Chains A and B, each alone.
Chain A
Amino acid sequence: MLEISGLKVFHGPIEAVHGIDISVPEGSCVALLGPNGAGKTSTLSAITGTARATGTIRLEGRDLAGLDIEDRFRAGISIAPEGRRIFANLTVFENLRMGAATRTDGGIERDIEEWLSRFPILGERRSQSAGTLSGGEQQMLTIARALLSKPRILLLDEPSLGLAPKIIGQVFALIEDLRHEGMTILLVEQNAGAAIEVADYVYVLANGLVTRHGPSGEFGDGSGLMGELTGVHD
């Protein structure tokens, strides 16, 4: 589905990612783990087209080089960005409409209603400015919004960041559901334990390089990995 090879990502003159290979097969959930500054978000930015990058990124065999951010979205790449970047002054309903902004079929309203009933709390607040939602509600909204474009692949950038443990549980339950529904997911996380639990395959990134990768089963519950990533050992 998504094949990345020899990817280098640049922020101005600084090379943040130094040539990595990542593969996300169709219908799988792949986790990209690593500490702050490892290059995880840079990798996602290269995929969505917001950061300058070299190497090749192919979506279903199609080379994305030369496509700008809007075209990549149209090609089927949708991201729920870090920090829950919702449109704060638009209502919940309007945020969801934005997710389907490029769709021209007649099923948009039906799909929005489906999401609003899937998350009743969003349904209750459909006419409320999204900026007034709690962190967890905003995270649900960004994921629902990203899915309303009917993407080929969903990129999730640190969906657990800054959320209470109970809410994190709900977010990962949603990711688990999506995986069972056959959605292809590339998940970037610092919360290694939760990510390993939902992922099929794991890449560990440090200092812009892939240091380890393998099926999620090889990583246990992620506790050892957490120590490895953060430098903190029990």
Chain B
Amino acid sequence: MTRRLLNPDQKRGLIGSAMLAVLILVIVGAYALWGESYQARILYATFVNLIVVVGLQVFMGNGNYATFSHAAFMGIAAYAAAICVTPAAVKALSLPDAPWGLNAFEMHPLSAALVALVITGVIGALTGLFMSRLTNVSITIVSIAILVIVHSIFLHRTDIFKGNQALFGIPRVFGLGHITALVILAIVAARLFRESRLGLRLRAVADDEVGARAMGVNVVRARMIAWVVSTLFFATAGIAYAFYLGTISARPFYFNYVFLTVAMLILGGLRSVTGAVFGTLLISLGLEIIRWLETGPTLGGVKLPEMLGLSGLLLGIVIVGVMAFRPHGLMGNREIEDIVFRRKKTTEVSK
């Protein structure tokens, strides 16, 4: 018997992804027309975050787990790609003590990206072996442990990662065009995954694990695949990050970044890819406004005081506020096409 390439829900997902892609292209277009050059960096960072948050939706959102290790996987890929792609001559300066001949070779960016994806995917699969067999609270705790372990390796193997010092000289091969294409690809992939048999199973497990098993669902397998797939999203984001900035250090791949991206997903709504996109865009915009407020601008003739630390406050308020007043985020179970086509309300139900 043949099975069709896409099921009806996935076809609907493609329509929804196309709408989100248009939104992304409108933002890029607006930048191209009216933006200032410093905003390219902000936009690029927003899009890197978007890939991470959409990747979070794959495992954390569909499975309704809380995980905090994504910055670690992003860091692994960023370092792997950076070490592979940086010219040997530069590495002789930046990583003079690197073991295993890490400073004696260089690769084409595409090969470097592939190596980084494979390494992150393999580490994802290895950690997935136990992550997929754990239950909710243990998944959260182990994910934090992964984050801490990876971060301390980054910090203490200074011969490979340079710790909190910058690993410099990475060829800057990516621009806004690359990241735009990757973001759209990530959105499409996440939507297709969400509506796939596997995504559906994972969402069913989130509602009722025993019930899902009684429908023949292999819960461990579903969790394993979703976990590895989500690490590949983080890897893509990490590679894009390294290929744009040209310099990386261990500091950004830690708790601050984890909370930023988790807040984005929570604001938009864990269960929806559209929610992941909206949450990321809204918080990114909100942070830019706050950064401007922090500097103490003059508003309507009134000079505001400098208010440093306001951005951290915003993230806290967003998480607490959404949890208290809208626990399923802005989108709940809905995707963009549900709103545009005004389909019957799909109210979210708490367990």
Contact = CB atoms under 8 A, between A and B. Distances in A.
B208 interface: yes
Contact of A132 (B4, B216, B347): B347
A128 interface: yes
A90 B207 CA distance: 8
Interface stretch (B28-36, B126-134, B195-203): B195-203
B344 interface: yes
Interface in A85-110: 85, 87-91, 93-94, 97-99, 101-102, 104-106, 109
Contact of B216 (A89, A109, A149): A149
Contact of A89 (B9, B345, B349): B349
A50 B1 contact: no
A87 B208 contact: yes
Contacts of A69: 210, 213-214
Nearest to A148: B215
Contact of B207 (A73, A88, A145): A88
Contact of A129 (B4, B208, B217, B346): B346
Interface residues of B, number: 35
B321 interface: no
Given A81-B211, A106-B4, A129-B348, A74 B216 contact: yes
Nearest to A50: B210
A106 to B, nearest CB: 5
B8 A101 contact: no
A23 B7 CA distance: 40
Contacts of A93: 9
Contacts of A94: 9, 200, 203-204
Contacts of B333: 89, 91, 129
Interface string A44-83: 0000101000000000000000000110011000010100
Contact of B3 (A79, A81, A106): A106
B198 to A, nearest CB: 10
A185 B197 CA distance: 28
Contact of B344 (A48, A98, A104, A128): A128
Given A128-B345, A131-B349, A87 B213 contact: no
B343 to A, nearest CB: 5
Contacts of A87: 203-204, 207-208, 211-212
Interface of B is mostly: loop
Interface in A114-149: 125, 127-129, 131-132, 145, 149
A129 B347 contact: yes
Given A69-B213, A149-B215, A101 B346 contact: no
Interface string B90-114: 0000000000000000000000000
A150 B203 CA distance: 22
B345 A85 contact: no
Nearest to A77: B214
Contacts of A106: 1-4
B216 A90 contact: no
Nearest to A112: B8
Given A89-B271, A101-B200, A81 B214 contact: yes
Interface of A: 48, 50, 69-70, 73-74, 79, 81, 85, 87-91, 93-94, 97-99, 101-102, 104-106, 109, 125, 127-129, 131-132, 145, 149
Q: Which 6 A-B pairs have the closest CB atoms?
A: A131-B349, A102-B216, A88-B349, A73-B216, A87-B207, A105-B1
18 contacts: A48-B214, A69-B214, A74-B216, A87-B211, A88-B207, A89-B206, A90-B204, A94-B9, A94-B200, A99-B215, A101-B204, A105-B1, A106-B4, A109-B8, A127-B344, A129-B346, A132-B347, A132-B349
Given A90-B203, A128-B345, 5 more contacts: A70-B217, A70-B218, A89-B349, A94-B203, A101-B216
